[in-house]
Amino acid sequence: MQIKWIDRGVCYPEGFLASGVNCGIKKDRLDLGVLFGTTECYAAATFTTNKVKAAPVKISSEKLNKNKIYQAIVVNSGNANCCTGNRGLLDAQEMCRLTAQELNLPEEKVLVCSTGVIGEPLPMGNVTNGIKSACSSLNENDLPFAEAIMTTDTKPKRIAVEAILDEQTTIKIGGCAKGAGMIYPNMATMLAFITTDVEIPPDTLQEMLKNAVEQSFNRISVDGDQSTNDTVILLSPKGRKFPEKQYELFQNLLTRVCESLALMIVKDGEGATKVAKIIVKNATTPQDAEKAARKISNSLLFKTALFGEDPNWGRIMGALGAADITLDPNAIDIWFDDVQVVSCGMGMGKETEERAKLAMRKDQIVITVDLKVGKYQYHVWTCDLSYDYVKINAEYRS
């Protein structure tokens, strides 16, 4: 089998068209996109677990509970359509209706997503014109769509993969995502859209997406804040049935696509200069391993030390002690990449810390914590917290 990674997105698999336009929500950037499947598609999705849910999350999740067949997704950025009351729900429904009308589809085959500022009604006159423009300009170039879903992102995030099984069988998966701040599982202020060119039954598709999200988007943290609009949608066109014996391969490829997009989000975290993979191993339970990894990844003290390139392992020990897990402080070992800085709960001296400083100068680093009290492991990706993060969010609505 041959695997190729391609700098493309949701239109790399055959049968998908997309577009991105400016409709006036933002002054001079693309802010509305449409993704269209030329044939009926099975759809799977995961949504935010935040109790405050945006109108499009409510509308799309309700639709998916009733129906699994879709052909289009309409997305706007710059306005979250959240905390907008009944008007927000009507506006989200109207976005579906207008898109369906322009594409000559039943309204029930259209999903809707939004991202941006909370608490402001959508300018529906602009949105209406944008939907008409986006639906009339659909094509195989998926870059404008990836750009249209961005908010504080500094770059579009997209990737595609093709697996060649034999002369007759290939699989293509393409995806794009947005997200830079308000990032914390379960998912975050992120949207992700994934397509493939093979048919997977809807129940299996949902389970595969759930597994992939758990290994990727649910393991990232930029700032520990959870959003109201998180959505990941996967579309699988009907017609080209994929052999069940190859489902494991599809799952692996889907997970790798989601991991790649998730890492792009962390690397583009608001003001971020570094990415750290936090590995906690040998915990007493899977839950303890996860709690510990998340506690470290969300520690503001750790994240600022990461920005300052300071191997202050005491901040990691402090986070572990507050994590409500089974812990023996006198057993803990800690590494910065391959430099061990803590052995059996005690620091290993200034010389090792100097070597750890060199490791922290890199853009990416792996922090490994060995609890030595069990056999379970978990990992999370996070980024540093810089001056620019405060500046970006202080000026977000200005």
Q: Which helix (H) or strand (E) holds 317?
A: helix 313-321
Region class of 324: left (phi > 0), else alpha (psi between -120 and 50), else beta: left
Provide the 8-state DSSP code for 162.
E
Of these residues, 115, 152, 189, 196, which one is catalytic? 189
Tell me the two tokens of residue 204.
Answer: 């299996």
Q: Where are the beta strands (DSSP E) in the chain?
A: 2-6, 16-21, 32-47, 69-79, 110-117, 157-164, 170-178, 191-196, 220-221, 231-237, 275-283, 333-336, 339-343, 346-347, 364-370, 376-383
Vertex 347: Cα angle to 343 and 352 (nearest 5): 95
Please enumerate in sequence order all residues whose Cβ is within 8 A of that of 102, keeping only pairs 6 or more positions apart, or say none.
131, 132, 135, 136
Tell me the two tokens of residue 353.
Answer: 């810390």
Three-state DSSP state, 369: strand
Tell me, what amino acid is at 365? I
Three-state DSSP state, 291: helix
Tell me the two tokens of residue 312.
Answer: 């202050």
Give one DSSP letter per residue of 75-122, joined into a string.
EEEEE---S-HHHHHHHHHHHHHHHHHHHT--GGGEEEEEEEETT---
Indicate if 189 belongs to the active site: yes
* Nearest partner of 116 among 34, 47, 178, judged by Cα: 178
Name the β-bridge partners of 236. 42
Tell me, what amino acid is at 110? V
Residues classed as catalytic: 189
